[in-house]
Amino acid sequence: MASNLDHLRIDPDRMLAAFNELSQIGATGDGGVDRPTFSEAHLAARKWFRDQIEKTGLEFHTDGAGNHSASLPCGPKASPTLLLGSHLDSVPKGGRFDGALGVMAAFEVLRTVKDAGLKLKVNLEAIDFTDEEGTLVGLLGSGALTGRIDRDLLLSPRGGRQSLEEGLRRAVLSDDSVLAAARQKNTLAGYLELHIEQGKRLERTGINIGIVSAIVGISSYRLTFTGRADHAGTTTMQDRLDASQGASAFILSAREIVIKEFPDCVVNIGKMELIPGAFNIIPARAELWLEFRGPNEKEFTRLDTALIECARNEARRFGLELKTDFLGKHSPTPMSAGPQKAFMDACDTLRLTHTPLVSGAGHDGQSFADICPVGMIFVPSVEGASHAPREFTEWEDCVNGANVLLQAALRFP
Ligand SMILES: [Zn+2]
């Protein structure tokens, strides 16, 4: 029996046909897709997925957060469900693989198990999560399903309240329906996802599959350096309290600190504003948008302290005051041991090389931490390109990933 299952494979041509059809919805003409959450193209992709599910004789299911799924009751009665999935929304003018590949692979896994008439220990569900990319809220569908979305978050979402209201209306959903989408923990056996790497590590090393060990934590601050506005021509260099100097020194020091002391972390200052902002006035204020990411809580906390201390020191050095506004944090999410082991065994069965990787991007899997076992794999991204139309993964790699997902699901739990 076990060896029979070891030989089961997805149908690569069938998956390719579905993937190519999906890629046409919201296609930008240069290989990419433009499907922000609840845009016309995104709604069309969702409708297409629903039609595909119904055509194949799988059960279609949707919830108050607009998550769309195919389910296959292949487990014993009342057994929990193993979710396989990703997302069909994209960033504006994004690539056709990000998210879509994971949903199509999950769907193909269910079709393969259905065609083989297999009975497993769990039921299977292939799910398309709403708004993973954060056009409206970010991890909206997976967060709602795992009970992590509350009313406050819906009242001040990152995409703005008006966009959320309009979006929900277009999809015939509401705040109340989103909040009612939470499932009972004991109905979930686990969550597994296949995604493109969106980086160059697999390509560079020639390894087939990345088994995600953790999804990084992300923290953000607004830092305000305050000095004094003065005449830019008549004030000597020694007499200036120039906010831009302290802010710039911090940007360069932050880079040094991360490179030297935090090799697994990254820091980004994505925006800097100088006030009042004129040729002939010394900047009185500099506002910086700081974001940093780290793979485990200990490093992440240490980095937080180091960066804020660095900002204080640089402010002092230039005679400035520093104000720190903490804007929010997602803790690092370790992936569960069970799914990592299932993925490793699946790779070995398929004779595919694998390596542990930390995900530098956020994913729906984060929503499942502390809820049920969660695991994720990556397939190589050509040139590491992502969130752009040139995003590409060789079809052979997509098929490898889908087969690993299948074999891991067969081994679950
Ligand atoms: Zn994605």
- How do residues 216-247 score in pLDDT, each as one tens digit? 999 999 999 999 999 999 999 999 999 999 99
pTM: 0.89
* Distant-in-sequence, close-in-space partners of 389: CB < 8 Å, separation ≥ 6: 28, 30, 31, 32, 93, 94, 95
Q: Is the peptide bond before 92 cis (omega within 30 degrees of 0)?
A: no
Task: Kindly report the average pLDDT of the chain as a whole number.
Answer: 96
Q: 244-247: long-range contacts (C-beta < 8 A, 24 or more apart)?
A: 244/274, 244/283, 244/286, 245/318, 246/286, 246/314, 246/315, 246/317, 246/318, 246/320, 246/322, 247/223, 247/272, 247/286, 247/288, 247/314
Residues paired with residue 61 on neighbouring β-strands, in sequence order: 69
Q: What share of the chain is helix, strand, coil (3-state, %, to 5)?
A: 40, 25, 35
Neighbour count for residue 382 (Cβ, 10 Å): 15
Give me the pLDDT at residue 4, please: 77
pLDDT band, residue 378 (cuts 50/70/90) = very high
Query: Is 3's pLDDT higher than 70?
Result: no
How far does the centroid of ligand 1 lie from the alpha carbon of residue 259, in Å?
27
Rounded average pLDDT over 110-128: 97
| φ, ψ (nearest 5 deg) of residue 228 | -150, 135
How far does the centroid of ligand 1 lie from the alpha carbon of residue 87, in Å?
7
Rounded average pLDDT over 160-171: 96
How far does the centroid of ligand 1 lie from the alpha carbon of residue 73, in Å?
27
Contact 203, 348 (CB under 8 A): no
How far does the centroid of ligand 1 lie from the alpha carbon of residue 86, in Å?
7
Q: How far is CA 165 from its chain centroid?
A: 23
How far does the centroid of ligand 1 lie from the alpha carbon of residue 34, in Å?
14
Rounded average pLDDT over 57-73: 97
How far does the centroid of ligand 1 lie from the alpha carbon of residue 197, in Å?
9
How far does the centroid of ligand 1 lie from the alpha carbon of residue 90, in Å?
8
Contact 303, 294 (CB under 8 A): yes
How far does the centroid of ligand 1 lie from the alpha carbon of residue 309, in Å?
34
Give me the pLDDT at residue 106, please: 98
SS3 290: strand
Query: Is 72's pLDDT higher than 50?
Result: yes
Q: How far is CA 399 from its chain centroid?
A: 21
How far does the centroid of ligand 1 lie from the alpha carbon of residue 408, in Å?
20
